C-alpha cells in the first residue's frame, strides 16, 4: 500500500493511498487504514475495490471511471453517508 501525506493546514492533511499493488493487507496495514479513516484528515484512495466493502468508511464519496471507447470515459460520483 503506497501512502503519501500532503500537509494542507496545521490541523489536517490530504492522504493519498494507492492500493493497486496491494495483493493482501497485513494486520498492521488494516489497523493503519482504520486509523486514517477515523482521523480528521481527507483520505483519497485509488483501487479501493481491492478492499472488502465493510472496511470502507460509511461516510465517503466514490468516483468510478469506466472506459467506454478509446479516449472516452464515464465518471460516476456516488456519495455515501
**Residues whose CB is less than 8 angstroms from the CB of residue 17 and which lie 6 or more positions away in sequence, other chains included:** 1, 2, 3, 33, 36, 43, 44, 45, 46
Condensed to tens digits (0 to 9), the pLDDT of residues 15-43 reads 898 888 776 777 677 888 888 888 888 88
pLDDT band for position 77 (cuts 50, 70, 90): very high
CATH number for the domain spanning 25: value is 3.40.50.300
pLDDT tier at 1 (50, 70, 90 boundaries)?
low
- How many separate domains does the chain show? 1
- Parent domain of 17: 2-80
What digits encode the pLDDT tens for the residues 39-60?
888 889 888 888 888 888 888 9
**CB 17, CB 35: distance < 8 Å:** no
Q: Is the model's pTM score more than 0.75?
A: no
Amino acid at each position: 500500500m503506497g501512502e503519501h501525506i500532503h500537509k494542507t493546514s496545521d490541523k489536517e492533511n490530504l492522504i493519498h493511498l494507492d492500493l493497486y499493488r496491494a495483493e493482501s493487507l497485513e494486520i498492521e496495514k488494516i489497523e493503519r487504514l482504520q486509523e486514517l479513516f477515523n482521523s480528521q484528515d481527507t483520505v483519497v484512495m485509488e483501487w479501493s475495490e481491492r478492499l472488502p466493502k465493510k472496511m470502507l468508511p460509511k461516510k465517503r464519496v466514490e468516483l468510478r471511471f469506466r472506459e467506454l471507447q478509446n479516449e472516452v470515459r464515464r465518471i460516476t460520483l456516488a456519495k455515501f453517508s
